Amino acid sequence: MAASPRSDKPFLSDIQTIRKRARAHMERGAVTDSYTLDRATVLKLLNEALATEIVCVLRYKAHYYLASGINAKSVAAEFLEHAAEEQSHADRIAERITQLDGQPNFSPDGLSGRSHSEFVVPEDLASMIEENLVAERIAIDSYREIINYVGDRDTTTKRLLEEILAVEEEHAEDMKTLMENFGQKGEPAKPGSAGGKKK
């Protein structure tokens, strides 16, 4: 009787070895000995991504509340939708950080320094759209670099970041379309004087 083809391709690790490894360092949760990336570097990159998403939420929210002018209603609605999606990204990244036995850094101290994008609130609607497009382009490049670093050595983080990247690319296209439409309408809008404008 011919040997089963399965016997020619043994499982990567003996099941007893896998069970033994699983019981070691249980306090590390999902992080097992087979995790070969520098975890400290991955956590640092993820916390920078978290800060970037939080700053994006704050920027979109500020733009939403300060937007005014003829075309402001539809543009502000886009800002609010993006703010909610960026918040969802932040939540998912924070969850992944805890899965990797790290601590999500939500501290407001140094938030802008950890973020790859900036918190800029211009005085006119067209510039708000432009700032959001710039921020989305920064996020796209940042996520691509992190994905390249992680590669296939952390497929869960890679898949998460690829999903977020796809949404950031949609956001960039949305802002590009708004900017093009806005230019055609010649919107002269300025936000009202209420609410401080920050850079």
Q: Is the pLDDT of residue 48 over 90?
A: yes
Q: Maximum CA pair distance of the chain? A: 87
pTM of the model: 0.77
The annotation status of 116 as a binding-site residue, yes or no, is no
Instruction: Give CA–CA dist 138/119, Å, rounded.
Output: 13
User: Considering the chain, what percentage of its residues have pLDDT values greater than 70?
Assistant: 74
Instruction: Give CA–CA dist 145/122, Å, rounded.
Output: 29
51-85: buried (b, 16+ CB within 10 Å) or exposed (e) per residue?
Answer: bbbbbbbbbbbbbbebbbbebbeebbebbbebbeb
Q: What does the block give as tokens for 61?
A: 């929210």
pLDDT band at 36 (very low <50, low <70, confident <90, very high): confident
Class of domain 37-185: mainly alpha
Residues 140-153 pLDDT 10s: 999 999 999 999 99
The annotation status of 168 as a binding-site residue, yes or no, is yes
Q: What distances in angstroms separate CA 171 from CA 36, 83, 165, 184, one per listed residue?
A: 33, 10, 10, 20
The annotation status of 136 as a binding-site residue, yes or no, is yes
The annotation status of 53 as a binding-site residue, yes or no, is yes
